Chains A and B, each alone.
Chain A
């Protein structure tokens, strides 16, 4: 069954559908908002629609959690990061609505960065709300997410080990290039070049 246009009541936090009991219990009605695209969903979140925020959770919590877990390898910590990142969307939706950027890309980058902060027990280098959303034109890429990610996965599999490892150590393990150089025994410049080369390969795959 295809989604029907949202019931206007579902966009109003003051209607019975959206009263406090809806979101404090486990029976949040998100059926009215789950068919919305990200822009409409974020506009509803900006209106204070808690069902819309629940729909954002349903749509992106898994990828956010997976990224956090990939970095932290600890379910409890990963869930904390997931909550923190998604609550940021709830607390500051206006910036998303105004920029109309690529939400999943923003969530992905912010989640990874926040998870690295937790891993390294450091204060965030960038406050979460200061990372700009990727350009709106890139929202188009998100709509073909699975296709795109298949291409990225394929290129990652084909990357030489000496490019793949530094990229992974830098991005998912949060090691600095100096630490990677020490760990791999490679010169600092070589590490930088290999990380950049791996990144360029991903960029090419995304454009292919």
Chain B
């Protein structure tokens, strides 16, 4: 079952599934608690199993299940205790205390969550995280407007968005790359790109929304990469309800263009 130093990986997989006998489970648990390597292996397995579990076929909840849950909630000792304390303490005073404590912290909570989300939006490895460092810094220091953060949170966590990976036009080394998240219903868009080549004076990158049905590409916005070739652009007022076929990036004169100029630097659909 082990190599005298570590538990066999196949057994750690079974441990994560609780598919070992009770005795074996106990034995492995004791080792994992003191072994960083095996603990990390179990952690990775657990995450994989969590994702595997979520591939279960989607079905609707039984009718009334929400009401039944909430009814059960109110029967818990915690809920009863809260009800009891609510009848004993002055409401206004307590409301002011909690409001001050949490109301002011909401922006920070949201900023923190946004920071976490942003870390992953276009991030497959640590190097790409540099793309969003400026924005991340903004969020963490609370400089960004809370309304914008709320909008971004919605965009990043929504299941009703198109996520499009942008690929390079051939051939450059290192190849530029980018990613767009676009919510067609709300017209919100996030672009992150990396390895963009520096542009001569008077030139800028421009993002285009490529519409379905051969309609004219719509200019989404211009942007410039930083000194390391990374760029991030957040747009919250793009046209909504578009039938989007893809996105493209071109090089245009500063100020932007109304029609894309070839070649297309990055595109994806």
Q: Residues of A at under 8 Å CB distance from B?
A: 2-6, 8-9, 11-15, 19-20, 23-24, 26, 28, 35-40, 43-44, 47-48, 50, 53-54, 57-58, 61-63, 65-67, 69-70, 75, 79, 82-83, 86-87, 90-91, 102, 104-106, 108-109, 111-113, 116, 125-126, 134-135, 138-141, 143-149, 152-153, 156, 167, 170-172, 174-177, 192-193, 195-196, 199, 202-203, 206, 208
Please tell me which one of the listed residues B21, B51, B56, B119 contacts residue A69 in the complex, with CB atoms under 8 A apart. B56
If A12-B95, A91-B76 touch, does A104 touch B50 (CB 8 Å cutoff)? yes
Please tell me which one of the listed residues A4, A24, A61, A196 contacts residue B71 in the complex, with CB atoms under 8 A apart. A24
Please tell me which one of the listed residues A134, A145, A170, A208 contacts residue B17 in the complex, with CB atoms under 8 A apart. A170
Contacts of A43 in B (CB 8 A): 102, 109
Q: CA A15 – CA B95 in complex, angstroms? A: 7
Q: CA A40 – CA B150 in complex, angstroms? A: 13
Interchain CB contact under 8 A, A50 and B52: no
Please tell me which one of the listed residues A40, A109, A138, A148 contacts residue B106 in the complex, with CB atoms under 8 A apart. A40
Interchain CB contact under 8 A, B47 and A196: no
Please tell me which one of the listed residues A4, A39, A61, A206 contacts residue B47 in the complex, with CB atoms under 8 A apart. A206
Apart from the given pairs A5-B103, A102-B50, A112-B53, 17 other A-B contacts in the complex at a CB distance below 8 Å: A5-B146, A11-B102, A11-B103, A14-B89, A20-B74, A23-B70, A48-B82, A50-B73, A57-B70, A66-B58, A70-B56, A112-B49, A145-B54, A171-B17, A176-B21, A199-B52, A202-B49
The answer to whether the Cβ of B43 comes within 8 Å of any Cβ in the partner chain is: yes
Interchain CB contact under 8 A, A138 and B47: yes
Interchain CB contact under 8 A, A12 and B71: no
B139 to chain A, nearest CB (A): 12
Q: CA A12 – CA B13 in complex, angstroms? A: 43
If A2-B151, A14-B91, A50-B74 touch, does A152 touch B51 (CB 8 Å cutoff)? yes
B99-127 residues with Cβ-Cβ distance < 8 A to A are 99, 102-103, 106-107, 109-110, 112-113, 116-117, 119-121, 123-124
Q: CA A102 – CA B139 in complex, angstroms? A: 21
Q: CA A54 – CA B117 in complex, angstroms? A: 23
The answer to whether the Cβ of B65 comes within 8 Å of any Cβ in the partner chain is: yes
